[in-house]
Amino acid sequence: MSKKITIYKWQGNTHWSVDVEDSYGTEHHIGYYSHYSQMHDIEDLAKGIWDNEVKPKEDLLGNAIAECIQSDIDRGVEPNLD
């Protein structure tokens, strides 16, 4: 995965939204800014997140359930979680 900073503004909104993604794919919301000129500290905040990133714990139960569901789909059986 790659690290990235996303700055976006939805049409009609008055604020910019800033997200940072670390190398594990975890998204971190930095904040909302009303003026583009206020975003001077984004790089420092992103570096702080990237310097302290931690590998997320693997969800073993969730992965096992997803594999069972995919197995049912592959066999042509409708998945049932009951």
Could you give the CA distance from residue 19 to residue 30 in angstroms, rounded to a whole number?
Answer: 6
The count of other CB atoms within 10 Å of the CB of residue 19 is: 15
Question: Is 0.85 surpassed by the pTM of this model?
Answer: no
Handedness of CA 12, 19, 57, 3 (dihedral sign): positive
Which of 43, 36, 5 lies closest to 21, judged by CA?
Answer: 5
Q: Per-residue confidence of the chain (82 residues) as pLDDT tens digits? A: 689 999 998 888 888 899 999 999 899 999 998 876 777 788 889 999 999 988 888 889 999 999 999 999 999 988 877 7
